[in-house]
Each structure stands twice: as C-alpha cells, then as structure tokens.
Structure 1
Amino acid sequence: MTFCDENNIELIKNDLRYLELLAKQYPDVSCASTEIINLQAILNLPKSTEHFISDIHGEYESFTHMLKNASGVIKRKIDDIFGNSLRESEKSNLATLVYYPEQKLDLIKRTEDNLDDWYKITLYRLIELCRVVSSKYTRSRVRKALPSDFAYIIEELLHEQDGKINKHEYYNGIINTIIDLDRSPDFIIAIAKVIQKLIVDRLHIIGDIYDRGPGAEIIMEALMKHHCVDIQWGNHDILWMGAAAGSEACICNVLRISLRYANLNTIEDGYGINLLPLATFAMEAYENDPCKSFTPKTLDKQISKKDLVLLSKMHKAISIIQFKLEGQIIKKRPEFTMDDRLLLEKINYEKGTIDIYGKTYTLNDKNFSTIDPKDPYKLTPQEKCLIAKLKRSFVHSEKLQRHIRFMYSKGSMYLVYNSNLLYHSCIPLNEDGTFKEARIGDKKYTGKSLLDKYDTLAREAYFFKNDSSKKIYAMDMMWYLWCGPDSPEFGKNRMTTFERYFVNDKQTHIENKNPYYKYRDDEVLCKNILKEFNLDPTSSHIINGHIPVKTKEGESPIKANGRLLVIDGGFCRAYQPQTGIAGYTLIYNSYGLLLTSHEPFESIRKAIEEEKDILSSTIILEHVVARKRVEDTDIGAELKKQIKDLEMLLVAYRKGLIKENK
C-alpha cells in the first residue's frame, strides 16, 4: 500500500467526506480488505466477450438468430469442449437446443424414443458447456445470472469437482431427480438461457435498427430484454427518433421509406399508427394519377394489384408532403446550406421539366395536383390536417415512445469502449483529409466536439418542452442529421430522393460521399481520428457500418491496416444482391478480434427443424499471446479506482481519521 506518507494523509483528509460515505458501505477494516481482495481477483479474470452488430434494418429473423448463436461463438465453444467425442450432428443438435430451447424441446418430445436417456445425456452436456462458459466470471456474477427456480441446483452442478468420489453420487442424484420429477424441460430451458447470457457479456449495435425490413419493433423488444447493450445511433435510427419527437419532416421520411419497401408492418401492427387518413387522402388527391414512379419495391412480397395501386398513391402523397416540409426547413434554416435541395421551385409545371445541375430534364411524372406553383412549399388544408393526425399517432404511440426512450438511454452518437471507437457512419472531413468545421448557432465544431454537440441536440429534440424554440431547432437538426451535407450520420453531399422518383437520368441520382470514405483506408487518417477521441492510435480500432461492403466486388471490410473495421455487409435483404453476403459481425474476446462474414439466413423454422445454422466464415484479425484480462479493460480501470479508494479508506481507519463501525 502506498498511502501512508504525509502528502497522502493530506489527500485523504481532503477526501474525508467521500470516504465517510464509502465507510457506510464498508464499515470496518475487515469489510474494506475483503472487497479489495475480491476486486483484485476480478482484475485477473479473462476479459469477457463483446459482440458487435451493425445495420440490422428490421431483419428480425436474422438478427434473432445472430443474437442467439452469438455469431458462431456458441458453436465454436461446443467444438472446443467436445471435439471429436461428438458427431457433427450431435453438436448441431446441442447448439440448436441452446439457441431455441423451448421450440427444440417440443420437437424432441415428438421424435425421441427414449426421452429419459436423451434428457440425461443432454443435461450433462449442457452443464459442461455452462461450466466452461461461466469460468471467466466470479461465482457472484454467475449467481446473478441464474434463474431463481434452479439457482442452487445449477450452482452445485457447475462447481462439481472431478475425482471427488464422495460427491459423484450426489451429482448423479441431482440429475436423476430432475428427470424423475419431470423438470428436465424447464431445467434445460433455464440452463440454455444462462449459457446465452454468459457467452457474450456486452452487445454493441453500431446503428440502423430501423427501416426496410419487417420487424424493427421486434428487434427493439429483444434489445430491451438484453442484459447489457449499447447503441450507436444510425441515420435511420435518428430519423425514427426525430419522428417520435414530433418532427413532421422525419415522420414523412419514415412513412415514405416504409411505403417504398411495401413494409407497413412496423408502422401499423408494430406501433399502432393509423394510416387510414393517409390512404383516404391519397385516394382522393391522386384519384386519376397512376403514380407509376412510386410503385413500391416489393422484393419477395406477394401484394395484390389493388393494394399496389393504393400503396403507390400513398407513397406519392407522403413524398410530396415531405418535399414541401423539407423546403420549409431549408428556407427557415439558411445555416444548413441546402438551397440546392429546393427543387419544387425549379420545376416548370407547364412544360413538365426541371432545371438542375445546369441542365433541363424532362420529368417522368408531371402530375403535381397538390402543389401551387406560386408557393410550392405550402401545404394544402387537407395536407395540414393529415400531417397533424399522423403526428399525433407517432407522438402518442406508447410502444414507439418506449422504444425511443430506450434508444436514448442506451444510445449515443459514438462510444469509446475498451480501446475501440464505435460510430455508425463517419467523421466529416475536408477534401484534404482534415476535420471539417461545422457552424451550429454561433460556434464552430469539428471531430469529437461536433459529434458531442449533435448528441446534445438529439436529446434536446426529444426531451425539451413541446413547441419551445430550442426543441423546434433540435427537431430540424434531427432531419439535418438524416440528410444534411455535414451530417456524420449521412456522410454524403446530398440526398437525391426527388431525382430518383422524377428524373430518369441516373447522373442526377449520384450522391457523393464525404471525403472520409476516400481516406478511411489511410492508416494515418484513422490514427488521427483515434487521437481526436483520446485513444492510443497504435492499439485501438474504429468500428463502423452504414455503407455495405461490396464483398462480391472484392472489397474488404478491413481498412487502414486493421485500424478501421466496417461491419455492414448486407444484413438487409435489399442490399444482398450488391454485397454478395448477409452481413459482418465482430467478436472481441480475451484472445483478440474475430471478424465473421455470414451467408443469408433462411428462417428460424428451418434453424429449429433442420438445424440450419447461419453459414459463417471467421477471420482472426488480432490474436494475443497472453490473454487479455479484466485489468486491461475499461471496467478494469474503474475497478482500480475503486481499489485505490478502498485503500485510502483503510488508511483512514488505521490513522483514526474515520472510526470503524463494528
């Protein structure tokens, strides 16, 4: 101990009020000493496993399976433990049982001839798997993860000692009694869930839970039940957060995207948002308009011709309202410097043409029945009424508000954790690779300070009092974060939504990426970013997603000599024809970093019935000779601070500065 010299005594005296509070938790020398010993022991445990997933985009079946199989960690652990002692079919059966214990047990009960024997063999295998998985945690930590019904029994079985003859019958007796009392199914379900909970200590979601796929709300429910998760907001998440806060422009974008992909499940069934007013308005306002440019991308969905006509009209109706509302924001906020997006005033409504990028283009859809050419950004009375109803639905959706509050409580623009920098898209850069300066209010921000400011504004948009000027500004900023040229979430110079709908020339559809994407393979640039966020540039990593890695074209997710890792490989089915795979995930355990690429997932039903796991390929990015310990992590740094405080408390007790309460 190093706190006994005179200088440290003065330091202790200065911290006496804090130490007196600490003394209430550790009232004597014995309690403080015991806690120091416990914390010191924890520092020497192996670092726990972190799991990184990005760009889920509502694909809840793939996400659910990825969460349950921990990107192949459970299967690899089964291989390590049982090796050649089990056939591959037996390993697959055991893995599927851990992933989906309830459903798999129902199947086993219908197909297994000697159920008691199967229970006995399976229980022993699950206990052995759980024993290995739990070995990197303290008994106290494992105890907290155990279900109350079986906590004592599981703890006894986990700490069986090989070779202890006297206890061998005791353990066999426990297993036999579980089977005799017909508690085997419940016990298997309980221990499978303990394995799932302990196999990964922390889950990192690097943005874009929402849009395109059919089950974002299902994913959010799963995340809310997860034992330890953080979220780095993606541009699609920001959009939904803005919509939940009441931003009308964000609400229109959310609905437009849902209609574009014929995906109204999350809107209507998931969040109970009533789209009947939109359907009624669209059928009246666009009754004689075929809305061909707004035919949804159905992918593999089976949709009747009648429904497609209605969806197309709804799609166009909300898109036109979106362009009007966005124009109002751009005119109100000149500091956004987005005048190039004021396209409705560039249309010649008589000729059906538009003047953009120094050229005149013929529009493929010339029907603008709800636009007044003299005041193109003005909503009609019917549109005002409609948007008010939609806003009420979003703001008063109990489930949506619950999910978005969770998004705020567990989320942020970026996260620094265990020497890794996590953010969804980019750090805005200039053409020469320097940090780009953005003016917000009367101040300028770059790099880390820019993301910190955007994080604050995102919270103000949701939590500030309704209709206050600060809340309205922050809500406008949420829309800017979705599509603004200096947004670290968007990462492009413009969003060419209008052009994609109305202009056939694909040159007008181009969205130029921020220079960040040109430089992100530059190790010097990545090290500069790491330094900006106070990380060691020689050992830290940047982890982000946002733009799918086109693996089929030979693109690598590993950038800048391993300093930057992109883990968006095409979770969303709409991207898979471009990427050639179905996503990357990352595992960071005590041995190093593992990057895993995944083939498209068929279905949970096939995973259970046919034991079809996701086919994955793993690349070892870094492998350390000496395993990382808890003392090498951020948690370790916190534990060391606690140990120091407790050591100071011990000195205070021994010097009589604080009296023991025995």
Structure 2
Amino acid sequence: MITKDKYLRLLAKEYPTAAKTVTEIINLEAIMNLPKATEHFISDLHGEYDAVQHVLRNGSGNVKEKIREIFQGRLSTREMNQLATIVYYPEEKIDMIVEGLDSEDEINEFYSLTLSRITELCAFTVSKYTRSKVRKSLPADYAYIIEELLFKDTILTNKEDYYEEIIKTVISLDRATELITAISFVIQRLVVDHIHIVGDIYDRGPHPDKIIDIFMDGHELDIQWGNHDVLWMGAASGSAACMANVIRISARYNNLEIVEDAYGISLRPLITFAEMVYTEDRNEPFVPKISPEDEEKTFPEEIRQITKMNQAISVIQFKLEGEIIQRHPEFDMADRMVLNFIDYEKGTVTVDGKEHELLCNYFPTIDPADPYKLTSEEKVVVDRLLTGFLNSERLQKHVQFLLSKGSMYLTYNDNLLYHGCVPLNPDGTFMELPIANITYSGKALLDKYEDILRKGYLNRENKKRNIPCLDLIWYLWEGKASSLFGKDRMTTFERLYIADKETHIEKKNLYYEQRNNPEMSHLILKEFGLDPKKGHIINGHTPVKEKIGENPLKADGKLIVIDGGFSKAYQSTTGLAGYTLLYNSFGMQLVSHQPFTSRQDAVENEKDIISTRRVVDKELQRKTVRQTDVGRRLTQQVIDLQQLLRAYKSGDIVENLASDK
C-alpha cells in the first residue's frame, strides 16, 4: 500500500518544482471551467458499416447544427449542404466538384472559399477544448498549418497577409484537397468528444469488422458488450457452442463472408461435410435470407450450398448446447434439450406437452438412442473450425480491442449504460444464478459475468481448464438469468422445425414489462451506486417499434432505449434506422434517423440521413467539466497537487530546481 508521503514523492517526480506544481493547478482549474464535452451514444450497429460510418462522420447531425449556427444567413442551404458533405466525404466530394469547374481560377477560388469556411467551422468545433487536446487530434502531416489557421489572431490585423499566404501556398502546391481532408477529419473526431457503443457491433449486417476498425482508429470510446458481441468473443475464446451459433447466424443472413473473407477462417470442412452427409434436399427451413440487392448476385447453387451448411451447423449447435445443459443443471434449461423430445419415426416433436409435426424430419447424424453425441465427422468439423477461430489474427485483434475498451456495464457522468437488462424475478427482485457454489444477482452478477468473459479469453489455450468459463459465456447468449438475453428461452429449434408460431414465442424478462415503471429504474440505479434523481439508464438490445407508436423514453425519461434498427433486417418493423443519443453541456437529446441510402447518394446528391431531435433533459445552467466524472478526477488531482505545494513550502519535500535548466 502506497502511503501519502510516498505518493507525494512520486508526484514530485512529475512536478519537481513549486512553479510547475502551481502551473498545473492553474491548468486543471481552467479545464474544469470549460463546457462539458459532447458524449455520443450509439447501439445495435449489427455490421451496418456505411450507415454507422455516416452517423459518426456527421456526429448524429451535430456537424450540420454547427454549420447552421455559424453560416445561417451567410450561406444558402445548398452551400451549407455542400460544406457538410465535404466534411463527411472530403476527397470524393472535392473531386466531383473540381471536375465540374471550367478554369483554374474557378478551382482556386473554390479551394480558397472552402478552406476559409472549413477552418472557421473547425475553430468553432474545437473552441471548447484546450489547445493541448486539439493539438493531439491534429494529423501529423498538417498539424503546424492547421494549428496556425485555427488559432490565428482575430484582433490584430498585422498577420492577415501571413494567413492568406498560407492558403495561397497550399493551393499553389496542389495540396488543398489534402489539407481540407485533414481539417474535415479533425471536425469529425472532435464534433463529439466521447463515444459510447451500447452493444451489438456484430451479426446480421455485412461489415462488423470494418466498424471495429473505425473505432480502433483513435476515437475516445467505451463499449458495453452486447449478446452478439459476446457470442463472437466466446467463439474467439474457444467455445464450440458459441462458434456454431456464429456460423449459423452468418449462414442464415447470407453473410458467411465475415467468417471467410474478413477473418480468414476456412469453412471448407463444413462445406465438405454438409455436401457429403446432407445428401437429400429436405432443408426448406434453412434457406438463407437474401436481401433484394443480393438476389441477382447470388447463384442458385450457392444458395443450395449455404442451406446445407446451415442445416449441418444447426444440428451440431443443438448437440453442443445439449452437452453444456447436461453439465449445468443449475442453468435450469432442461426444456432446451429439444432433441430428446423428437419422435424420429413419426417426424414429430413435443414442446410444452403438445405434439407438433416437424417441418424437416431429416437428421442423418443423430442417433435417437444418444441424440447429443457428435459423430466422428462432426467432431473433426468442430475441431478444425475452432482452430480457425483461435488462429485468426484479425479476429483475435478485434476481440482484444473489445476486451480492452469494453465491459458488461458502465457508470459514466451519473448514467448507467448496459446493453440488455438487469434480470428480475416475477416478484421484482433481482434474479439469481449460482456460479461455483456462490449465488450472484444484480450488480454482482454482471460483475461476475465480466470476470468470466475476461478469464475465458485469457485461458483460451487451455481448453479443459476453460470449459466452465466457456459454458457460462454461452449461457450469456441464451440463459434466462443472462443480462444480455433477457428472455425465458431461445426458440431457435422451434423457429426452424415447427410451423406453429406459438412455439416461437420467447417470453421477455419482467425487466422489459416494467421499463415504464420509474420505481424499477430507481431500484437499478441505486443498485449500481447512482443517484436516481440525476441518472438515466441507457439500453440497446430491443428495437423500438416507433412505427406503431412505441416510445424510446421510458419511466418518465429515466430509461432510454436507443436501439431503433440500424440493422436493415429490423427496419420494416421499427419504421426507422436507429437512434443515437447526444449529451452535451446544454443537456441530453435523442436523435432518430431515417434509413441511409448509400455513400454514393450522400456524395453525389448531398443526401444526408434525415434526423429528428427531441430533448430528453435540459440543463438549467450550462454544465461544465467540473460537474462530470472527469471533473471529479481532476478535482482530486488538484487536491493532491495542493498538498505537494504545501510540502514544498514546508520543506518536507525538496524542490528539484535543476529540472528547470
């Protein structure tokens, strides 16, 4: 344990003189009086790279808001839209504009005007940050030029020629596009200060890997893992059941490219096995969902092959899940041992006491006497696929990033962020789960889940030792006490094999029935150590069906659901294409987005995502950094520095004056 005296002596190495200590105290006090920076909350991205990238580039409409604040009355709507598009897609838009200009003079005038306007916009965007923070965000190649333009002297006029000459020289050297691009990326980066991703980057959409690449590119962010993220994390940690689910979902949504192309994992063992064993075409329920834009690009033979792969991996999944359920009676999932309830001769299955005819009675790898036993061929397929997941450098790099930036939940500036729910019993108490003979519930249960996820990944090379962790990671995907699932059962088997939609119903946890109840929100906020009068709960996971009047603001605004359907698969039922949340010094705003058409449409026709804002909370007095979590940490730093200063004055610690030389 570090004593106070020892801590101050360590601090003295960083601030070795009274003068440097005083300077840092003044600096920190000044920072705490700046306006609170903007937080950007986004959830349920589901691989929709183009739409997500656009929302990040426009800051959920923040870029256009700032353009209107500065240029309303000075620029036309067309000119403001053009400037916004340049900020979003600088290189593509500038190339298109320049191609349409007739002379070099027109081109130079365009560059000069655009540089002037985008510099003014950037200066306004970064005005609430310290120069030090802005400096760290500048691209190295143009840092000096951008800093000179951003912080130019607006009072004295004796440097006007100096600034004008910078722009002229940049244009004459044919570097205007590069400078505009560099400034645009600074605006994109700093129009919001901190991004919260409230779960589900993976599955359904085509490019979750590219989304993670964006987030790895220097954004200040945190991630609250979603159920689909944890499924991929489990697969990367060595869970065969998680891996089977990953492949099945990818096949179901005709997105196996994410496994093969993005992560370099060969599916040849599964393809060969499916073609060899599933020789009959009795597989209608396993036909993949093909989007209209992909129909013409997908060959019938390819659909047939994916269908067989889906069928083969689904049966393997049910077997692997059955093994886990048998190992863990405490999971209370005996009803999910569905292969035990099949009458293989009659072609029926009994669910909840009722017999149903199977849509597909073709199980070439199942032994009715021991339905959960993998065949020798299935074992080979599982082992080879698992090796592919464990050895994929890119996947492992992405999962390591998720672990370094992620958590099951986060408390941040009085708000509680988690993807799904805090599972409740029917009587409203926190649902319990025994793990290694200790019972957990509420916050302690989510803490334990996080511990298991981290240990499961760290122990991925030791398969036998890791089995208990991997089983619990799978449980997070579909267990009734999982905070990421939040239902009584996952009816994958029923949806594939039974026509009766009553059997497809997955009853939601009481949490979802009580989301409009302020008392429940207060109970949960207190459980996580937050003041219910100040805080909000921010959720994703369940798409808000705005189309039929569902409100994302629950419990008198205390609980906010920001899954509005980024995934195209959900947009027909939600009626929109996602919510995001903005929280700045003036308060909190919920932003709803209409579907993104395409990057080409955005560039060529300046078609932005149509976004609608509504105020959630408005600050009576503009909030400063001092009133945030960062401010609380800075306040403690100031207290420590003041103690160090007193130690210098009293002579308890001697200044190192040589450090100033």
User: What TM-score, normalized to structure 1?
Assistant: 0.97
| Match of residue 354 from structure 1 | 349
Amino acid at match of 1:105: I
Answer whether contact 2:586 2:619 (CA < 8 A) is retained.
yes
Are positions 1:432 and 2:435 aligned together? no
Which of 261, 267, 272 is residue 280 of structure 1 equivalent to? 272
- Which range moves more in the overlay, 44-53 or 285-294? 285-294
1:14 Cα deviation from its structure 2 partner: 5.3
* CA shift digits 1:204-241 (9 cap, x unpaired): 11000000010011111111113211110000000000
Which of 584, 591, 605 is residue 596 of structure 1 equivalent to? 591
Which residues of 2 match residues 149-298 of structure 1 at below 5 A? Answer: 149-298=141-290
Are positions 1:612 and 2:612 aligned together? no
* CA shift digits 1:452-510 (9 cap, x unpaired): 00000011110025336552111111110000111000000000000001111111100
Answer whether contact 1:206 1:234 (CA < 8 A) is retained.
yes
Q: Quick one: distance in 2 between partners of 1:211 and 1:609?
A: 30
Amino acid at match of 1:83: Q
Which residues of 2 match residues 48-127 of structure 1 at below 5 A? Answer: 48-113=37-102, 114-127=106-119
Amino acid at match of 1:233: W
Which residues of 2 match residues 252-651 of structure 1 at below 5 A? Answer: 252-300=244-292, 301-302=294-295, 303-464=298-459, 466-467=461-462, 469-651=464-646
Q: Quick one: distance in 2 between partners of 1:363 and 1:639?
A: 63
Which of 120, 123, 131 is residue 128 of structure 1 equivalent to? 120
Answer whether contact 1:290 1:309 (CA < 8 A) is retained.
no
Q: Quick one: distance in 2 between partners of 1:226 and 1:99?
A: 17
Q: Quick one: distance in 2 between partners of 1:264 and 1:469?
A: 29
| Match of residue 45 from structure 1 | 34
Answer whether contact 1:592 1:622 (CA < 8 A) is retained.
yes
1:160 Cα deviation from its structure 2 partner: 2.2
* CA shift digits 1:579-615 (9 cap, x unpaired): 0000100011111111010111011111111111101
Amino acid at match of 2:500: D
Amino acid at match of 1:637: R
Consecutive unaligned residues in structure 2, runs of 5 or more: none
Answer whether contact 1:457 1:474 (CA < 8 A) is retained.
yes
Q: Quick one: distance in 2 between partners of 1:466 and 1:338?
A: 28
Q: Quick one: distance in 2 between partners of 1:62 and 1:648?
A: 50
Amino acid at match of 1:609: E
Q: Quick one: distance in 2 between partners of 1:50 and 1:268?
A: 35
* CA shift digits 1:382-428 (9 cap, x unpaired): 10111111001111011000000001000010011111110000000
Answer whether contact 1:541 1:564 (CA < 8 A) is retained.
yes
Amino acid at match of 2:549: G
* CA shift digits 1:497-543 (9 cap, x unpaired): 00001111111100000000011110111011111111110011100
Amino acid at match of 1:425: G
1:299 Cα deviation from its structure 2 partner: 2.3
Amino acid at match of 2:316: I
Residue aligned with 1:399, SS: helix
1:258 Cα deviation from its structure 2 partner: 0.5
1:361 Cα deviation from its structure 2 partner: 0.9
Q: Taking structure 1 as reference, are residues 552 and 465 closer, same or farther at Cα in structure 2, changes over 3 Å only?
A: closer
Answer whether contact 2:417 2:539 (CA < 8 A) is retained.
yes
Residue aligned with 1:586, SS: strand
* CA shift digits 1:266-324 (9 cap, x unpaired): 11110011111111111111112331111111122212221111111110000000000
| Match of residue 5 from structure 1 | none
Residue aligned with 1:84, SS: coil
| Match of residue 653 from structure 1 | 648
| Match of residue 9 from structure 2 | 20
Amino acid at match of 2:332: T
Q: Quick one: distance in 1 between partners of 2:465 and 2:406?
A: 21
Answer whether contact 1:591 1:623 (CA < 8 A) is retained.
yes
Q: Quick one: distance in 2 between partners of 1:169 and 1:624?
A: 43
Q: Quick one: distance in 2 between partners of 1:355 and 1:190?
A: 63
Q: Quick one: distance in 1 between partners of 2:26 and 2:558?
A: 37
Residue aligned with 1:225, SS: coil
Consecutive unaligned residues in structure 1, runs of 5 or more: 1-12
Q: Taking structure 1 as reference, are residues 598 and 465 closer, same or farther at Cα in structure 2, changes over 3 Å only?
A: closer
Answer whether contact 2:238 2:460 (CA < 8 A) is retained.
no
Report runs of 4+ in structure 1 exceeding 4 Å deviation: none
- Which range moves more in the overlay, 417-426 or 284-293? 284-293
Residue aligned with 1:593, SS: strand
Q: Quick one: distance in 1 between partners of 2:192 and 2:460?
A: 39
Q: Quick one: distance in 2 between partners of 1:454 and 1:469?
A: 20
Q: Taking structure 1 as reference, are residues 468 and 311 closer, same or farther at Cα in structure 2, changes over 3 Å only?
A: closer
* CA shift digits 1:543-569 (9 cap, x unpaired): 011010000110000000010000000
Q: Quick one: distance in 2 between partners of 1:570 and 1:634?
A: 30
1:150 Cα deviation from its structure 2 partner: 2.1
Amino acid at match of 1:43: M
Amino acid at match of 1:653: Y
Residue aligned with 1:136, SS: coil
- Which range moves more in the overlay, 95-104 or 643-652? 95-104
Answer whether contact 1:594 1:621 (CA < 8 A) is retained.
yes
Amino acid at match of 1:419: D
Answer whether contact 2:319 2:371 (CA < 8 A) is retained.
yes
Answer whether contact 1:415 1:423 (CA < 8 A) is retained.
yes
Amino acid at match of 1:264: L
Answer whether contact 2:122 2:186 (CA < 8 A) is retained.
yes
Q: Quick one: distance in 2 between partners of 1:275 and 1:436?
A: 39
Residue aligned with 2:216, SS: helix
